[in-house]
Amino acid sequence: AAELEYESVLCVKPDVNVYRIPPRTSNRGYRASDWKLDHPDWTGRLRVTSKGKTAYIKLEDKVSGELFAQAPIDQYPGIAVETVADSSRYFVIRIQDGTGRSAFIGIGFTDRGDAFDFNVSLQDHFKWVKQETEISKESQEADTRPKLDLGFKEGQTIKLNIGNMTSKKGGAAKPRVSGSGGLSLLPPPPGGKIAVPPIPPPSSTAIANHVTPPPVQKSSNVSSADILLDLDAPAAASKAPVSATTDLWGDFSTASSAVPNQAPQQSNWVQF
C-alpha cells in the first residue's frame, strides 16, 4: 500500500502548447493541420508521473507550478492518449477533473526530441506494468500448484556408491592388479623393482648319482665317432665336473673293440 502511494516522475518538458480541438465527426484519426498551430490556447510545462500502475500527464504553470489540467492514463496506447495522423509532435489527450468530467485537448512540442521522450516514457511505464502483472500471475499459479515433498520418509535411507572416487590430486583411482589364484595385488610403488627369487644351483649329489646308461650295441657299419657323439650329449649337459671312483667308460671300450677294422681307442677322455 505504501508503494502505491508513492509518486515518481517519469518525464519533464518545460515547453508544451495546448490547443482546443474541434469534435471528431468521423472515425478517422485526428489531424494537427485542423488546429490553429500558430495560436495555441495555453502554454506551460508538462510532467509525466506514475502512481502505482497509473500514469498521469500534468499540465502546470511554468512559474508557479499550479496545475492547469491532468490526464490519468490506465493503458497506452489507448483512448487516453492518441497520436495524430499527420505529425509525430502532436497528441490528443483526455483530461479529467475531480467531478468526473472529461474533455479532449491537443498538445504539441516545438522540438521533435521532446515528443520522442514523452512517447518513450509512457511506453516504458506500461511495459513495466505488463511485466509486473505477468510475474504476479505466475506467483499465484505457483501457489495453487501442489508442492513436491522431497524430504525423507520415516525409515527411508539413501545409498552412495563411492567406489570410483578420485584421488586428492584430481586423478582417477589406480586399478588393482589381479594376480594368480584370484588374489588382488597392489601395484608396485613408483620407481621400485620386483626382486626375482634366485635359481638354486644344481646339487652335486644329484650329478654324482647320475648313472649313464650302457651304450646300445651298434652295427658294424656305424663308426666309433657316431658312438662318441651319442655319448657326448649327456656329458655336455652337466655343468660341473664330478669325480668318479670307477671307470664309467670301461664298457664303452669293450663295445668299441668288438667293431671290426676299428683303430684302437685312445684313452684321452676325462673322467667325470
Cell for 226?
657316431
Give the residue with greater pLDDT, 92 vs 168: 92
SS3 sequence of the chain: CHHHHCEEEEEEEEEEEEECCCCCCCCCCCCHHHCCCCCCCEEEEEEEEEECCEEEEEEECCCCCCEEEEEEECCCCCCCEEECCCCCCEEEEEEECCCCCEEEEEEECCCHHHHHHHHHHHHHHHHHHHHHHHHHHHHHHHHHCCCCCCCCCCCCCCCCCCCCCCCCCCCCCCCCEECHHHCEECCCCCCCCCCCCCCCCCCHHHHHCCCCCCCCCCCCCCCHHHHHHHHHHHHHHCCCCCCCCCCCCHHHHHHHHCCCCCCCCCCCCCCC
pLDDT (tens digit per residue) in 191-222: 655 555 666 665 554 444 555 555 555 544 54
User: 1 pLDDT band (50/70/90 cuts)?
Assistant: very low
What count of other Cβ atoms lies within 10 Å of the Cβ of residue 122? 22
Point out the least confidently predicted range of 72-76, 82-86, 106-110, 207-211: 207-211
User: 240 pLDDT band (50/70/90 cuts)?
Assistant: very low
Contact 103, 18 (CB under 8 A): no
| pLDDT at position 50 over 60 | yes
What count of other Cβ atoms lies within 10 Å of the Cβ of residue 67? 12
> Mean of the per-residue pLDDT values for the chain?
73
Provide the pLDDT for residue 136: 82
User: 117 pLDDT band (50/70/90 cuts)?
Assistant: very high
Provide the pLDDT for residue 150: 75
Contact 251, 215 (CB under 8 A): yes
User: What percentage of the chain exceeds 70 in pLDDT?
Assistant: 57
| pLDDT at position 232 over 60 | no
Class of domain 7-134: mainly beta
Residues 136-159, mean pLDDT to the nearest whole number: 76
Contact 78, 67 (CB under 8 A): no
Integer Cα distance of 15 and 43 in angstroms:
7
Integer Cα distance of 120 and 113 in angstroms:
11
